[in-house]
Chain A
């Protein structure tokens, strides 16, 4: 079934980093359209470091202005920039020996063509219109392509810098996960029974982790829609990057009848918080087929995405803890 080709997911970490007594003034200077280095003995280091790289002695924050001109030491022409590069058209990365500095800075050179690039070429620092106190506030151009800029000084010191790490992944579904997804589309739970241990896994990762036995389609089993709440947690949302919840809600693990691995992270909204308990018997009500959403199901955690309408209490007597104690997580 072509619709279950791959899962796309994004990994994001928003970091705020303190800049400290050396990086802070450097980033502040960049924001204000200046380049500074730090004195380390007889040398000037740019970008400035907190420690002398040779002696490892801590350096006093004794800065000197460097640049804005410099000479290219080594360079490479980036024909196909990544999305994270400072320019989306071809450009050069280079080590640049800035006037007044003794160690070269690694940075981007925006040049009209690779043909103007050469070792020793003179470049000039240019600044972005919008500056935030980051290394990306500046870039370099060949001297002949430079022009005068009027840079307004910003307010205050750059004491915190923001870094959003954002990565995209596109992973082909494993054959096992694809059959599990096709099952959910049909409204059934497809697991696998280990030929070695007899244990039933859902969603299966395609192997028995205890016996180290790979499994195949021949090991697939269809599981019933009934099961037991084997553990749960009531989550009180706190504010964080990406948080969408505002009210308390339940996440539960459901051990389907005949299975040895609970379906984790089940979203429970229909059972009052104070009635929730482990041992409760429940039945899965799938959404109508057209409304089933498979977003969020990947090779890793598995999960059930937006496929399930709710887990409905069946009213059967609770299952004693001893019966499912092996399966609590």
Chain B
């Protein structure tokens, strides 16, 4: 991408908790302190802070304002907020840095799903006249989408189970995973349906957690770390909020985002995909043109931990970790918002500033 070179210089994530007993602010504060310590920065050295969270999830109007405590509330920070996953906060941060007048942005995503009832809450993001009164929730739409994939002949229920089995096994080596185990496809297929054709294990767990990263412009990034992870592209696209107007057996918006980034299915070492429901992996791989050479969700992905509003940003963090640890030269991170993959963000990362890793 043309414009300023921008790199991730530090990442931090809390584990995914089934029920975190302290506040969302404390989740964020822990991560802020971790990133400051790692980079040696003072909080006042950070030029801009942006967070993604959801007041409805917290059940408190202006909950996002009290979250600023987690970044250090005094003197006031230069701050912004998106009522979206932190991955979209990263998008805004990236665009903000393109202006060239500031060097560093702290990006966060956080959420506690445990106090509320996510299925009831997220039904409210659907059309207020036609869908929300039906309580049309993301799980139900994921069920319909799974049906559409089966009917299109793109996958079988065993393929869904395969995604779950591999992801939950990979989660065993991720200290931040909430649900991880070694379970066979056959055992999974023996479980009862929950939203047929989905079984409960095709769904993500209910989680509390947060993710954070610090991005910086070229020279500043090199100054702050000897392992900058360069953002070589970022784009997001959205589809209709009317499921009846969409072909649920494809991820059209992911495909457009990939095209806008000029992705030709080229080999990524790793892809961290926001697979909240196992069938989504099949659609995303297809839309992104990912083949056997790319390792999908080595972290275990959202099926192992789904801190809503941080899940997408956590994909970027996990992908960046793989590059920092030398396990990948380049990586793709994907975030999703809305039901049935309505909105999708694609971010490409590389150890090399020109993306030739």
Partners in one complex: yes
Q: Are B121 and A167 in contact (CB under 8 A)?
A: yes
Q: Are A205 and B59 in contact (CB under 8 A)?
A: no
Instruction: Specify the chain B residue showing the minimal Cβ separation from A86.
Output: B134
Contact of A209 among B72, B146, B193, B242 (CB under 8 A): B72
Contact of A171 among B33, B115, B120, B137 (CB under 8 A): B115
Residues of A within 8 A of B151 (CB): 74, 119
Cβ of A207 under 8 Å from chain B: yes
Measured between alpha carbons, how far is A171 from B21 in the docked complex, in Å? Answer: 9
Residues of A within 8 A of B132 (CB): 163
Cβ of A76 under 8 Å from chain B: yes
Of A77-85, A276-284, A308-316, which binds chain B?
A: A77-85
Q: Are A106 and B59 in contact (CB under 8 A)?
A: no
Residues of B within 8 A of A82 (CB): 117, 119-120, 123, 135, 137
**0/1 interface trace, chain A 57-98, chain B, CB 8 Å (1 if under):** 000000000000000001111111111111000000111000
Distance (whole angstroms) from the CB of A122 to the closest CB of chain B = 17
Check A27/B23 contact, CB under 8 A, given A106-B243, A171-B115, A207-B69. no
Cβ of A116 under 8 Å from chain B: no
Residues of B within 8 A of A119 (CB): 147, 151
Cβ of A105 under 8 Å from chain B: yes
Cβ of A221 under 8 Å from chain B: no
Check A74/B73 contact, CB under 8 A, given A207-B26, A214-B29. no
Distance (whole angstroms) from the CB of A79 to the closest CB of chain B = 5
Residue count of chain B within 8 Å CB distance of chain A: 64
Chain A 94-113 residues near chain B, CB threshold 8 A: 94-95, 103-108
Q: Are B136 and A106 in contact (CB under 8 A)?
A: yes
Contact of B32 among A106, A107, A114, A212 (CB under 8 A): A212
Distance (whole angstroms) from the CB of B22 to the closest CB of chain A = 5
Check A80/B194 contact, CB under 8 A, given A135-B134, A167-B59. yes
Residue count of chain A within 8 Å CB distance of chain B: 59
Distance (whole angstroms) from the CB of A207 to the closest CB of chain B = 6
Cβ of A187 under 8 Å from chain B: no
Measured between alpha carbons, how far is A214 from B69 in the docked complex, in Å? Answer: 11
Distance (whole angstroms) from the CB of B29 to the closest CB of chain A = 5
Measured between alpha carbons, how far is A28 from B308 in the docked complex, in Å? Answer: 37
Residues of A within 8 A of B123 (CB): 82, 84
Distance (whole angstroms) from the CB of A162 to the closest CB of chain B = 10
Cβ of A299 under 8 Å from chain B: yes
Q: Are B242 and A53 in contact (CB under 8 A)?
A: yes
Contact of B129 among A93, A161, A206 (CB under 8 A): A161
Cβ of A210 under 8 Å from chain B: yes
Q: Are B115 and A76 in contact (CB under 8 A)?
A: no
Cβ of B190 under 8 Å from chain A: no
Distance (whole angstroms) from the CB of A224 to the closest CB of chain B = 26
Check A210/B73 contact, CB under 8 A, given A79-B195, A106-B244. yes
Q: Are B131 and A79 in contact (CB under 8 A)?
A: no
Contact of B59 among A74, A136, A169, A172 (CB under 8 A): A169
Cβ of A175 under 8 Å from chain B: yes
Measured between alpha carbons, how far is A207 from B69 in the docked complex, in Å? Answer: 9
Residues of A within 8 A of B140 (CB): 76, 78, 93
Q: Are B135 and A53 in contact (CB under 8 A)?
A: no
Cβ of B43 under 8 Å from chain A: yes
Q: Are A77 and B196 in contact (CB under 8 A)?
A: yes
Chain B 157-208 residues near chain A, CB threshold 8 A: 192-198
Measured between alpha carbons, how far is A19 from B129 in the docked complex, in Å? Answer: 8
Q: Are A76 and B29 in contact (CB under 8 A)?
A: no
Measured between alpha carbons, how far is A214 from B33 in the docked complex, in Å? Answer: 10
Contact of A174 among B21, B130, B135, B145 (CB under 8 A): B21
Cβ of A170 under 8 Å from chain B: yes
Measured between alpha carbons, how far is A77 from B116 in the docked complex, in Å? Answer: 24
Measured between alpha carbons, how far is A161 from B136 in the docked complex, in Å? Answer: 18
Check A93/B33 contact, CB under 8 A, given A79-B196, A205-B69. no
**0/1 interface trace, chain B 307-347, chain A, CB 8 Å (1 if under):** 00000000000000000000000000000000000000000
Q: Are A85 and B135 in contact (CB under 8 A)?
A: yes
Distance (whole angstroms) from the CB of B314 to the closest CB of chain A = 22
Given contacts A77-B196, A174-B21, 6 further A-B contacts (CB under 8 A): A53-B240, A82-B120, A85-B135, A168-B116, A169-B59, A209-B25
> Which positions in B face A, CB cutoff 8 Å?
19, 21-23, 25-26, 29-30, 32-33, 43, 56, 59-60, 63, 66, 69-74, 112, 114-117, 119-121, 123-124, 128-137, 140-141, 143-148, 151, 192-198, 240, 242-245, 248
> Which positions in A face B, CB cutoff 8 Å?
9, 11, 15, 17, 19, 23, 27, 47, 49, 53, 74-86, 93-95, 103-108, 114, 119, 134-136, 161, 163, 165, 167-172, 174-176, 205-207, 209-212, 214, 299-300
24 A–B pairs (Cβ distance < 8 Å), ordered by A: A17-B129, A74-B147, A74-B148, A74-B151, A76-B143, A76-B146, A86-B134, A86-B135, A93-B143, A105-B244, A107-B134, A134-B133, A135-B131, A135-B134, A167-B121, A169-B115, A169-B116, A174-B21, A174-B22, A175-B21, A205-B26, A205-B69, A212-B29, A300-B63
